[in-house]
Amino acid sequence: MEHSERRARVKPHRWVAGLSAFSLFLFAIPTVLNAQPIVKHDLRVVLHPEDHRIEVEDAIMLPDTLVSASGGPVRFALRAGLLVTSRDPHWAITPLAPDPSQSLSGHPEPTREYTVTLPKGARTFALSYQGAIVDEVQEGKEGEGSAEETGRGLSSQGVFLSGSEWWYPQFGDQLVTFAMNVRAPGGWEVISQGERMFRRRDGALEEVRWNSPEPQDEIDLVGGSLTEYRRAVGKISTLVFLREPDQALADQYLDATAHYLDIYQKLLGSYPYKKFALVENFRETGFGMPSFTLLGSKVIRFPFILHSSYPHEILHNWWGNGVFVDVATGNWSEGLTAYLADHLVQEQNGTGAAYRRGALQRYADYVAAARDFPLVEFRSRHDPTTEAVGYSKALMVFHMVRRELGDEAFIGALRGFFERFRFRRATFTDLALAFAAAAGRTAGPLAPWVEKPGAPELKVEGVAAFKQAADRYLVTAVVEQTQPGAPYRLRVPVAVTLEGRDEAYQTTFRLDTKRLGVEIQVPGRPLRLDVDPEFDLFRRLDRNEIPPALSQMFGAEKVLAVLPAAAEESLREAYRQLADSWATSHDGPFDIQWDTDVEELPTDRAVWIMGWDNRFRTALAPALNGYRAAATDQGVTIGRTDLSRDRHSVVLTVRHPADPALALGWIATDRVAALPGLGRKLPHYGKYSYLGFEGDEPTNVAKGEWPLTGSPLSVLVRQTDGTTIDVPTAKLAPRPALVKPVPVTP
Ligand SMILES: [Zn+2]
């Protein structure tokens, strides 16, 4: 199965109360941690899973800034259902009546706010509270495991508490340090940030103490009945916690942990924590917390996760969980993590360009102009559009910065940024300044890309050759930025294919106007010009640079689904339900009609044609023909692949004959039972042009992308006699990955 959704994590969105006092300290020397206002907690927690109840004692030390700056009572918020059970007469703790306009959190419902008034000069107080925290369906909640149960709360299945459960008192957006004793049922393991100081059996209970002297965004507490595996990697303790004993699986993860810790430490600087743990969750989540990750049982058993999601989660300990995100000004950590984890793995496999094309395709298909937004407004991924901006666009922007600075300066800037902002919050601006310093400039190269929505669009024309000497030619071209608005500042890579040479002539030119005449001197007769052949620029791809794919159907603004009136009753009903389910999750108009009620296919929207017996099936024929494919009553032939109707469910997309920016999709099966599975699975196959499935599950047996023809950035050079010579693009120079690949097993 494809696994593109729960790739990783963003911490649940947390509230930010006004301007952070922390910003005053941006330019303090970063190693002086005392310079940050930090709330210290010493927690004693008892877990009672049978009735979902936690009992907590918290000894709190407030920073000077909080006590004196407020000049009076200090406010904090706690989960509304928790009952504050004991109060010391020295501290006046007063619950405030819920008042949304006065709320620190802006979310008065689940929280209750209090004030505490301390004796003059005092900075410490203690609080006892208890209550039930029940697993809630996190419908619509931000975060990568959104719109599904994440197993939050406390139950006999396990515990999962973080800042968004408000299970400990929170004082605005202060960072925290903490120590925490937890008592849990026998056989349970409980994991938090930082280092485990001890773990012991206390009667029928397990007791464990975690110590986190490193400033943190929030306090996480996870666990359940788990088996622990451990290995030391240098000074780092690496751990795996599984719900069922499985030494082989644990070993795979311990090996991968050592491998990626080694890569990232060499690249970015020392891992910031004393341990890293993989914790298996009974819900299918993909969360990364500082010094551990919480992944679902199914997820950790997909073999490809070891070298896709898993390194991504480990790398979050530098970006997001080592340097924290100041969410109010945009989340830079996902794009940077995707670039240095996911993209790096692809680059090491020699598939970096294809990966970048995929990222650009997601942006082109899911981010219509009306849905676009600037990176500074990205918080977390909750649908393909936010993913295409917050991950895909952002990673392309980091790729451009790297190309601009060169690998050494790029890595140097990141190392310096990490060193300076470790255990602090940072913004896109902080990153931009780090890059600018590395480039020896005052202005960062990031600003136009992160502060505004949109993307450049390129066009090339008038590509001609001029002979200068025996083996010296000029290629001339006019390159245009066709997007509305101001021009972007681009460094455009080009490859010129020369007569009689296997390797292309490659260079770059600066484009910072809307229209530019370019002359490139080449050492041979130029036959073909390819602009940005390896997808190094963040830009909106031309339709002809991307084969039609399912992402175009699921990303379309307007959709019509055409149902087959001639199909038998049970199939008609199953198609109708499939269309209904897609309509419900679609962001925009999604109409459903019987084919007998449709006179002709609309030309202003994507159209799903459903069923073998749909009367519009023939609309696909000319386009399929162009791809050497055909659909008949017996089945579908794609090149040498045959997908027979009696054994297969088939899905394919072609360009809309009326508008190449739109797609037609066809889904056909005779198996009623396969349709619900197709409805669930297809959104995960976005990059494919065609798919074949077998059985009711259904199981994918064929997939592919149509070959590309007619990219407008790939042009044959007009020769001096006015002709062109059709040749494929010559070989491009191999590119070293940012980090040289090393064998996975040490
Ligand atoms: Zn992530």
Instruction: Output the pLDDT for position 110.
Output: 73
User: Residue holding tokens 């499939």?
Assistant: 578
Average pLDDT, integer, range 274-290: 92
Contacts 24+ apart (CB under 8 A), 253-256: 253/278, 253/300, 253/306, 253/310, 254/229, 255/744, 255/745, 255/746, 256/306, 256/307, 256/310, 256/311, 256/744
Average pLDDT, integer, range 309-330: 94
pTM: 0.84
Cα 337 to ligand 1 centroid, rounded to whole Å: 6
Cα 523 to ligand 1 centroid, rounded to whole Å: 45
Average pLDDT, integer, range 641-647: 94
Whether the predicted pLDDT of 494 surpasses 50: yes
Whether the predicted pLDDT of 384 surpasses 50: yes
**168-219 per-position pLDDT tens digit:** 999 988 999 999 999 999 999 999 999 999 999 988 999 999 999 999 999 9
Provide the token pair at 248. Answer: 């082989």
Cα 7 to ligand 1 centroid, rounded to whole Å: 7
Whether the predicted pLDDT of 31 surpasses 80: no
Cα 426 to ligand 1 centroid, rounded to whole Å: 16
User: Closest Cα partner for 211 from 128, 275, 280?
Assistant: 275
Cα 380 to ligand 1 centroid, rounded to whole Å: 9
Cα 316 to ligand 1 centroid, rounded to whole Å: 7
What 3-state DSSP class applies to 370? helix
Instruction: Output the pLDDT for position 226.
Output: 97
Cα 666 to ligand 1 centroid, rounded to whole Å: 33
Cα 597 to ligand 1 centroid, rounded to whole Å: 46
Cα 334 to ligand 1 centroid, rounded to whole Å: 5
Cα 449 to ligand 1 centroid, rounded to whole Å: 20
Which residues have CB under 8 Å from 569's CB, separation 6+?
none
Cα 441 to ligand 1 centroid, rounded to whole Å: 30
Whether the predicted pLDDT of 2 surpasses 50: no
Instruction: Output the pLDDT for position 102.
Output: 47
Whether the predicted pLDDT of 104 surpasses 60: no
Provide the token pair at 300. Answer: 């950790």
**508-548 per-position pLDDT tens digit:** 999 999 999 999 999 999 999 999 999 999 999 998 888 89
d(CA 26, CA 35): 10
Cα 10 to ligand 1 centroid, rounded to whole Å: 6
Whether the predicted pLDDT of 98 surpasses 70: no
Cα 703 to ligand 1 centroid, rounded to whole Å: 27
Cα 342 to ligand 1 centroid, rounded to whole Å: 10
Q: pLDDT above 90 covers what percent of the chain?
A: 71
**Are residues 36 and 175 in contact, defined by beta-carbon separation less than 8 angstroms?**
yes
β-strands 648-656, 635-638: how paired? unpaired
Whether the predicted pLDDT of 468 surpasses 60: yes
Cα 302 to ligand 1 centroid, rounded to whole Å: 18
Which residues have CB under 8 Å from 722's CB, separation 6+?
none
d(CA 463, CA 475): 7
Cα 393 to ligand 1 centroid, rounded to whole Å: 14
| CA–centroid distance for 427 within its chain | 18
Measuring CA to CA, how many Å separate 169 from each of 39, 41, 62, 107? 10, 9, 12, 15
Q: How many CA atoms lie within 13 A of 76 on its CB side?
A: 25
Cα 114 to ligand 1 centroid, rounded to whole Å: 34
Cα 66 to ligand 1 centroid, rounded to whole Å: 32
Instruction: Output the pLDDT for position 714.
Output: 94
Cα 313 to ligand 1 centroid, rounded to whole Å: 6
Q: Which residue has the higher pLDDT, 530 or 67?
A: 530
Distinct helix (H) and strand (E) counts, the chain: 16, 38
CB atoms within 10 A of CB 71: 6
Cα 394 to ligand 1 centroid, rounded to whole Å: 12
Instruction: Output the pLDDT for position 143.
Output: 40
Cα 317 to ligand 1 centroid, rounded to whole Å: 10
Cα 9 to ligand 1 centroid, rounded to whole Å: 4
Cα 621 to ligand 1 centroid, rounded to whole Å: 41
Cα 390 to ligand 1 centroid, rounded to whole Å: 10
Cα 121 to ligand 1 centroid, rounded to whole Å: 43
Cα 325 to ligand 1 centroid, rounded to whole Å: 12
Cα 723 to ligand 1 centroid, rounded to whole Å: 51
Instruction: Output the pLDDT for position 745.
Output: 52
Rounded to 5 degrees, what are φ and ψ at 546? -130, 130
Whether the predicted pLDDT of 240 surpasses 90: yes
Cα 338 to ligand 1 centroid, rounded to whole Å: 7
Task: State the average pLDDT for the chain.
Answer: 88
Average pLDDT, integer, range 677-705: 94
d(CA 21, CA 173): 9
Element (H, E) at 699: strand 699-704
d(CA 612, CA 617): 7
d(CA 662, CA 711): 16
User: Residue holding tokens 């790297």?
Assistant: 402
Whether the predicted pLDDT of 743 surpasses 80: no
Cα 701 to ligand 1 centroid, rounded to whole Å: 30
Cα 8 to ligand 1 centroid, rounded to whole Å: 4
Angle at 316 between CA 312 and CA 317, to 5 degrees: 130
**Are residues 530 and 730 in contact, defined by beta-carbon separation less than 8 angstroms?**
no
Q: What is the DSSP letter of 550?
A: H
Query: CA-based diameter of the chain, in Å?
Result: 97
Cα 146 to ligand 1 centroid, rounded to whole Å: 13
Beta strands in 482-550 (DSSP E): 490-498, 505-511, 515-522, 526-531
Cα end-to-end span (Å), the chain: 29
Whether the predicted pLDDT of 612 surpasses 70: yes
**Are residues 680 and 691 in contact, defined by beta-carbon separation less than 8 angstroms?**
no
Cα 96 to ligand 1 centroid, rounded to whole Å: 37
Cα 217 to ligand 1 centroid, rounded to whole Å: 16
Cα 280 to ligand 1 centroid, rounded to whole Å: 17
Cα 622 to ligand 1 centroid, rounded to whole Å: 42
Q: Residue 594 pairs with which residues in a beta bridge?
A: 563
Cα 389 to ligand 1 centroid, rounded to whole Å: 13
DSSP 68-118: HHHTSPEEEEEETTPEEEE--TTSEEEEPPP-GGG-SSS-TTTEEEEEEEP
Measuring CA to CA, how many Å separate 649 from each of 222, 363, 548, 612, 668? 42, 29, 19, 10, 6
Cα 378 to ligand 1 centroid, rounded to whole Å: 13
User: Closest Cα partner for 344 from 418, 298, 277, 399?
Assistant: 399
| CA–centroid distance for 276 within its chain | 21
Instruction: Output the pLDDT for position 136.
Output: 56
Whether the predicted pLDDT of 111 surpasses 90: no
Which of 99-113, 155-169, 379-393, 556-570 is predicted least confidently? 99-113
Whether the predicted pLDDT of 650 surpasses 90: yes
Whether the predicted pLDDT of 6 surpasses 70: no
Instruction: Output the pLDDT for position 67.
Output: 84
Average pLDDT, integer, range 490-512: 96
User: Residue holding tokens 């501290």?
Assistant: 91
Cα 293 to ligand 1 centroid, rounded to whole Å: 11
User: Sign of the CA dihedral 536, 538, 542, 545?
Assistant: positive
User: Closest Cα partner for 276 from 311, 248, 324, 309?
Assistant: 311
User: Residue holding tokens 């969410």?
Assistant: 327
Instruction: Output the pLDDT for position 140.
Output: 36
Q: What is the DSSP letter of 187?
A: T
d(CA 318, CA 210): 21
Cα 142 to ligand 1 centroid, rounded to whole Å: 13
d(CA 188, CA 171): 31
Whether the predicted pLDDT of 636 surpasses 90: yes
Cα 311 to ligand 1 centroid, rounded to whole Å: 10
